[in-house]
Amino acid sequence: MLNKIKIAVFVSGGGTNLQALIDAQKSGIVNNGKIVLVVASNPSAYALTRAKENDIPSCVVQRKAFASQEAYEKALVEVLRENEIELIVLAGFMSILSEGFTSLYPGRILNVHPSLIPSFCGKGYYGLKVHEAALSYGVKVTGATVHYVNEIPDGGEILLQKAVEVKEGDTPEVLQRRVMEQAEWVLLPKGVEMVCEKLQKGR
């Protein structure tokens, strides 16, 4: 077995997608990669507790601790280099990354977005807001997308998508949970394994 692809997972909140990745690693669904670092955008992210409980090293890098986006991203790159990270997974990561950062990792940053891109995505569409927008538009089908990350918010090449039904009487919270259970927690580990396999072959 070749050395596993070293993965950093970027988080901001509850970290259920991080949990799905950890579980997928334990069950062997993610096999060509290993989560070696969790990077949180704020110190109160519950995802940090999940990392700790699973003995995964973590750190907090907050945008507000730096004078500029450039300085913030420089700090992120430093921690990624120190840990020899080969793949970055944005799993509910709510901080913006500029082209200065994304261009350093072409084909090596993945994101999960809780809608069927190109619907309800881009600037201002994150977390519950995505599901609020889907409900207020009145779509009958929504879903999740796993895509590569480039300089355009939610604009990188699509890797995987899965549709999820919107039901009568859904609240944003209920819909969010269904999209997570039926799509995100399945697609993200699958996408991560696909990319790890590809990166392994290209070594």
Query: Which segment (11-19, 26-34, 61-69, 163-171) binds ligand GAR by CB under 6 A?
Result: 11-19
Q: Which of 114, 143, 156, 191 binds ligand GAR (CB under 6 A)?
A: 114
Which string of x and - marks every residue 27-66 that binds ligand GAR (by CB under 6 A)? Answer: ----------------------------------------
| Interacting residues with ligand GAR between 151 and 180 (CB under 6 A) | 180
147 is catalytic: no
- Kindly state whether residue 102 participates in binding ligand GAR, applying the rule CB under 6 A: no
Catalytic residue among 50, 113, 131, 178: 113
The whole-angstrom distance between residue 80's C-alpha and the CA centroid of its chain comes to 16
Q: Of residues 33, 92, 143, 156, which one binds ligand GAR by CB under 6 A?
A: 92
Q: Is 145 in the site for ligand GAR (CB under 6 A)?
A: no
Nearest partner of 184 among 21, 25, 72, judged by Cα: 21
Only one of the segments 26-34, 73-81, 112-120, 195-203 lies at the binding site for ligand GAR (rule: CB under 6 A); that segment is 112-120
Q: Where in the sequence numbering do the catalytic residues fall? A: 113
User: Which residues bind to ligand GAR, rule: CB under 6 A?
Assistant: 13-17, 91-92, 112-114, 126-127, 130, 180, 184
